[in-house]
Amino acid sequence: MKLRLLHTTLALGLLVGCGGSASHHPPDAQPQGGEGGAAVGPSGTGGDRATGGTTAAPSGGNGTGTGGNGTSTGGVLGDGGSEDLGGMAGAGAAPAISLPPGCTPRTPKETAEICSLAVDCDKAPSVRTNCYRLASGLWECQCANQERIFRVDNVAGLQACALSAQLCADDSPVVGDETCEPANDASDADSCSIDLACGKPIDLGATTDAQAWLMRFGSAHCNGDSSTRSFNCSCLNGTLTSNYGLLADSGDLACGPLADFCLSNVTPTFSGKETCVPGYFSSNSQGCQRFAYCGATFPLTGGVSLASFKERFATCVPGSGGGSECSCSESDTAFSFRLSTAPNDASCESSIPNCDRNAAIHVTGTPTCEPLYPDTSVGDTCGATLSCVQDATIDNRSIVAEGLLGLTCARAAAGMPWWCSCASGADNARFQLGSAGSTAAQACSQATAGCLEHLSVHFGPSGDLVPPPDPLP
């Protein structure tokens, strides 16, 4: 049986020594520890939330908390009996702690800034809770071995710990709509940083002035170059960190939408027309080079988008018959082509988008193919890799596209017909060549026309050439 929230005895006891008023306080935008440092996140390390300071938890034996993470790390729950180890606010008798019937407090500890309390119940697991007072006067609490964080108001010290223990024991509290408030919001044209504290109000009933919120925390940080509108960003949702490329006109616009997105738990779907952010470029009499980041986007707001960037490189050199021999490449694909213009900055700039996998490539005429390597015929087998060229347009830009065609031929024995197979891109084909009297070298030479009849050469970005399948039936 889990603990019931705000039993009648608790409702009465919460008003003893609590101070404050029954007015509503929203969650603090900037959680502060008792000595001005920022509150740590669920893991107890600075940076898990929006801020970097720490607040020390109680120290001592018999299951009390140690260290600075606000959670119990020392001792084992239940190993300390019901001994009161002191550390209470003020001397003399300990204040009454109101708990539901069948529950007893153990090792209570309290100062003006922190509290620690273990609660043992007849029909529920033992719970240890630790709380500390924020600069606003609210108390932030977390129970041992739980990730949930609560903020409470109109209760203080051990009464805050007692309330949080019961909140931790309730697996499904009734909560209202979440609101988020920014903290540490700083930005300029080239960078930004923002932290968010988000709280859902918990229904505690009408018999108490106490208030409580179920909390979570997020943040976003971006660094970049405003001249290219690109930023490298990271965001935090609780303890989960994600990294993204981001496009925005300024860092002043970037972090708010990114933090909201990270807290939404939405998985981005990158689609639509790609965007390229230029990097370095150079050109001289020997040719040109250009580097860029390119990828599809996922809009967050009207002027801010996530981007799935990949590094892309383009190069052009003078062609033997004039114009340029060019190529573009990413980590696992490449595409070679020829341009009618001389290699210069414009040639390399126009080459970068040719490696967009969604670019529209239209070929005209028929391809011309020539072997790239010497004949590899042996006995009743042969193989060849061919370089093919064909006039084409890519997104309405005229190029001469280059592609690869692999072929292999074999026969079961001398005097038997030849079978051949070919591959280009993701396509392959197999056919009977016949020509039983041909040599292996002649078979591969004759097979080129057959390959072009049975499949289309792939022109566009691609990986390594996939070998053709076994041609024999």
Average pLDDT over residues 101-119: 92
Q: Concatenate the DSSP letters of all residues of 328-376 into one string.
A: EE-SS-EEEEEESSPSSHHHHHHHGGGG-TT--EEE-S--EEEESS---
Higher pLDDT, 30 or 49: 30
Closest to 214 (Cα-Cα) out of 264, 261, 172, 266: 172
Residue 136 pLDDT more than 50? Answer: yes
pLDDT value, residue 255: 95
Residue 87 pLDDT more than 70? Answer: no
E strand or H helix at 224:
strand 211-225
Higher pLDDT, 168 or 468: 468
Long-range contacts of range 44-49, CB-CB < 8 Å, 24 or more positions apart? 44/68, 44/69, 44/70, 44/71, 45/69, 47/236, 48/217, 48/236, 48/238, 48/239, 49/195, 49/197, 49/217, 49/219, 49/236
pLDDT value, residue 333: 95
Beta bridge partners of 402: 336, 389
Confidence of residue 8 (pLDDT cuts 50, 70, 90): very low
Residue 71 pLDDT more than 50? Answer: no
Question: CA-to-CA distance for 130 and 71, rounded, in angstroms?
Answer: 6
Residue 47 pLDDT more than 90? Answer: no
- Dihedral sign for Cα 117, 121, 127, 131, please: negative
Task: Let me know the angle formed at the C-alpha of 469 by 464 and 471, rounded to the nearest 5 degrees.
Answer: 140
**Which tens digit of pLDDT belongs to each residue from 385-422?**
999 999 999 999 999 999 999 999 999 998 899 999 99
For the record, the structure tokens of 420 come out as 């051949």
Confidence of residue 226 (pLDDT cuts 50, 70, 90): low
Q: Which residue has the tokens 């990114």?
A: 258
On whether the CB atoms of residues 90 and 157 are closer than 8 A, the answer is no
Helix, coil or strand: residue 85: coil
Amino acid (1-letter code) at residue 204: L
pLDDT value, residue 376: 83
Higher pLDDT, 304 or 83: 304
Question: CA-to-CA distance for 401 and 223, rounded, in angstroms?
Answer: 39
Confidence of residue 23 (pLDDT cuts 50, 70, 90): very low
Average pLDDT over residues 280-296: 93
DSSP state, residue 462 = B
Average pLDDT over residues 29-44: 35
Confidence of residue 144 (pLDDT cuts 50, 70, 90): confident
pLDDT value, residue 99: 79
For the record, the structure tokens of 56 come out as 């020390």
3-state helix, strand, coil split of the chain in percent (to 5) is: 10, 40, 45
Confidence of residue 95 (pLDDT cuts 50, 70, 90): low
Residue 465 pLDDT more than 60? Answer: yes
Least confident of 52-56, 283-287, 443-447: 52-56
What value does the mean pLDDT of the chain take? 81
pLDDT value, residue 37: 33
DSSP state, residue 320 = T
Q: Concatenate the DSSP letters of all residues of 13-77 into one string.
A: HTTTT--S-S---PPPSS-B-TTSPBPP-TTSSTTSSS-----PPP--STT---SSSSS--SS-T
DSSP state, residue 385 = E
pLDDT value, residue 231: 93
128-166: buried (b, 16+ CB within 10 Å) or exposed (e) per residue?
Answer: bbbbbbbbbebbbbbbbeeebbbbbbbbbbbbbbbbbbb
pLDDT value, residue 123: 77
Residue 447 pLDDT more than 60? Answer: yes
DSSP state, residue 200 = E
E strand or H helix at 163:
helix 157-169
Residue 1 pLDDT more than 50? Answer: no
Amino acid (1-letter code) at residue 470: D
Average pLDDT over residues 131-150: 92
pLDDT value, residue 145: 78
pLDDT value, residue 460: 95
Q: Give the number of other CB atoms < 10 A from CB of residue 330.
A: 18
Residue 26 pLDDT more than 90? Answer: no
pLDDT value, residue 213: 97
pLDDT value, residue 253: 93
Phi then psi for 374, rounded to 5 degrees? -60, 160
Question: CA-to-CA distance for 401 and 391, rounded, in angstroms?
Answer: 6
What would you measure as the largest C-alpha separation in the chain, in angstroms?
A: 112
Q: How far is CA 406 from CA 402, 448, 456, in A?
A: 14, 9, 12
Higher pLDDT, 233 or 72: 233
**Which tens digit of pLDDT belongs to each residue from 296-322?**
999 999 889 999 889 999 999 999 989
| CA-based end-to-end distance of the chain | 71
**Which tens digit of pLDDT belongs to each residue from 347-357?**
999 999 999 98
Amino acid (1-letter code) at residue 193: S
E strand or H helix at 255:
helix 255-264
Residue 270 pLDDT more than 50? Answer: yes
pLDDT value, residue 60: 31
pLDDT value, residue 22: 33
pLDDT value, residue 63: 32
Question: CA-to-CA distance for 130 and 140, rounded, in angstroms?
Answer: 8
